[in-house]
């Protein structure tokens, strides 16, 4: 029963998360809330690991949730559920490629989907990642001090990296250097 639920839930995520990657985050947030397969903190960790490991982020996250929920078989089922809608759509499009290539309706659909997927990615970035990594919402209502509502070390790291990304010489560096430096700083912040 869990395997069927895993497949169907990730099929739905794969079907509606147009744009892939970060666009899956709102759907995964909802999935975690409904099924309790993972917490929001675990989702933030999954995002961080998925962003820094090879492969598509959505697939990495589906594999992780599937494995944690039902072991290696769950990993395969969740991943298959996530990619199945894309495979089906690609097969349909390949079959009718010539007809779709010149269709104004298809152009109109994709014109409308671009801003929607951008909004989903922006929503995911702010609502999931920023809230869980920069804000201490668990202290909301418990403390009177506004300064305690922020993870100050994370805010400072965010601001430093954001500023560095606007320095021309630093901006051209390989992203793996930023990931490695952030990992080192994160380890140092733990002590």
* DSSP string for 34-50: HH-SS-HHHHHHHHHHH
pLDDT at 80 over 80: yes
pLDDT of residue 159: 87
Q: Which of 13-17, 76-80, 120-124, 160-164 has the highest mean pLDDT?
A: 76-80
Backbone phi, psi, residue 172, to 5°: -80, -5
Please tell me whether the overall predicted TM-score, pTM, comes out greater than 0.85 for this model.
Answer: no
**Whether the Cβ atoms of residue 23 and residue 120 lie closer than 8 Å to each other:** yes
Q: How far apart are CA 47 and CA 57, in angstroms?
A: 7
Average pLDDT over residues 33-61: 83
Burial class (CB in 10 A: 0-12, 13-18, 19+), 165: exposed
**Alpha helices, DSSP H, located in the chain:** 2-16, 25-35, 40-52, 57-95, 97-101, 104-123, 131-134, 152-164, 168-171, 175-189
Closest CA to 79 of 26, 11, 16: 11
Average pLDDT over residues 38-66: 83
């Amino acid at each position: 029963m869990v395997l069927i639920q895993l497949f169907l839930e990730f099929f739905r995520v794969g079907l509606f998360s147009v744009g892939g990657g970060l666009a899956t985050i709102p759907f995964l947030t909802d999935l975690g809330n409904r099924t309790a397969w993972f917490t929001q903190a675990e989702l933030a960790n999954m995002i961080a690991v998925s962003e820094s490991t090879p492969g598509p982020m959505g697939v990495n996250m589906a594999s992780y949730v599937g494995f944690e929920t039902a072991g290696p078989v769950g990993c395969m089922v969740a991943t298959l559920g996530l990619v199945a809608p894309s495979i089906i759509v690609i097969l349909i499009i390949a079959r009718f490629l010539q007809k779709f290539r010149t269709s104004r309706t298809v152009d109109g659909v994709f014109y409308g989907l671009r801003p929607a997927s951008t909004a989903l990615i922006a929503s995911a970035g702010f609502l999931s990642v920023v809230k869980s990594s920069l804000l201490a919402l668990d202290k909301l209502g418990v403390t009177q001090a506004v300064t305690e509502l922020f993870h100050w070390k994370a805010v400072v790291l965010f601001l430093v990296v954001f500023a560095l990304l606007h320095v021309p010489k630093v901006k051209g560096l390989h992203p793996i250097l930023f990931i490695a430096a952030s990992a080192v700083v994160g380890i140092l912040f733990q002590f």
